[in-house]
Amino acid sequence: MQHLIRTSDFSKEEILDIFADAREFLKSKPNEILKGKIIVTLFFENSTRTRSSFEIAAKRLGAEVVSLDVGTSSASKGETIYDTVANINAMKPDAIVVRHSECGLPESLKGFVGCPIINAGDGRHSHPTQALLDLFTISEHYNGETEGKKIAIVGDVRNSRVAGSNRRLLPRFGIEVNLVAPDCFKYESDDFKQYNNIREIIDELDIIMSLRSQLERHNLTYFESLNEYAKDYCITNELVGDRDIILLHPGPVNRNIDISDEMLKDPRTKVLTQVTNGVAIRAAILKKLILNKI
């Protein structure tokens, strides 16, 4: 049985098959290929896009979705996540989608289940479905020609699980990853070129990925305020100019901190395309993991 804990759980060929299915799902009407299947979502951290898009994807394929309201679940009575998952698993779902603040938690749940676990974000570590939809968005924009493209991932690269998954995934498809961050958000490794200011590299870029500062994971003590941070890290029309660049952001966007209001309206900004693609990619992942389950 296959799980999706990190993007390396899928080979390059499997990812391209997922993209082919996602492309079809974007064009086609809802179907019933997962009719009779039940997907449980367990979100121990807040979500708008990931949770809704998994639910919509499942319903578009004819599956039923049970979303555990963690706030009113027996977790509040002291039940451990492992017991919660073992009990949900005893109800025989066909897949469990889980988001949690603890890095590595989805991996450690694998021994408690008889169905695929899909990681919908674990702490600072990984957000594999987000990285796959980001790569799909890039790949569709460039008609599959990702080799040699250059991206700058800008902002809180140290604490962002989206950055973590993209750092690992994009180079497998020939995309050069550059990281742009203030010292307090720098990734502690020499594996990538790192810059303090995007102006140092912007002329070489094809793609910018802006990130939200993960205030739930740290105190922004380095800057007096997000407005001070924004002076160097907000992506604006003035910064991008007339360059042939696409701009991504996983959401939620802090307007005028991560991306200016005006740049959010620019056709080069693909934030809502990413969200639309997220439903198709998650549908393709559900199809693969549930129908290939042995």
Closer to ligand CP at the Cβ: 127 or 167?
A: 127
Adjacent-strand bridge partners of 96 = 40, 117
Residue 271 φ/ψ region, left for φ over 0, alpha for ψ in the -120 to 50 degree band, beta for the rest: alpha
User: How many helices, marked H, and strands, marked E, lie in the chain?
Assistant: 10, 9
Q: Give least dist CB 275 to ligand CP, A.
A: 8
Binding positions: 49-50, 77, 99, 127, 130, 161, 212, 251-252
Q: Which active-site residues does the annotation give?
A: 49-50, 77, 99, 127
User: Using CA of residue 255, residue 249, residue 64, residue 90, what is the dihedral sign?
Assistant: negative
Closer to ligand CP at the Cβ: 48 or 87?
A: 48
- Residues with Cβ within 8 Å of 53's Cβ and at least 6 positions away in sequence, in order, are 275, 278, 279, 282
Tokens for 8? Answer: 């390396």
Closer to ligand CP at the Cβ: 53 or 146?
A: 53
Binding positions for carbamoyl phosphate: 49-50, 99, 127, 130, 251-252
| Dist. CA 173–CA 157, nearest whole Å | 20
Q: Give least dist CB 25 to ligand CP, A.
A: 19
Q: Give least dist CB 99 to ligand CP, A.
A: 8
DSSP letter string over 56-107? HHHHHTT-EEEEE-GGGSGGGGT--HHHHHHHHHHT--SEEEEEESSTTHHH
Closer to ligand CP at the Cβ: 48 or 197?
A: 48
Binding site for ligand CP (CB under 6 A): 47-50, 121, 127, 130, 250-252
Closer to ligand CP at the Cβ: 130 or 176?
A: 130
Q: Give least dist CB 193 to ligand CP, A.
A: 25
CB-based contact 290:112 (threshold 8 Å): no
Q: Give least dist CB 200 to ligand CP, A.
A: 27
Residue 104 φ/ψ region, left for φ over 0, alpha for ψ in the -120 to 50 degree band, beta for the rest: left
Q: Which 3 state secondary structure label does DSSP give 43?
A: strand
Residue pointed to by tokens 């990734």: 187
Binding positions for L-aspartate: 77, 161, 212
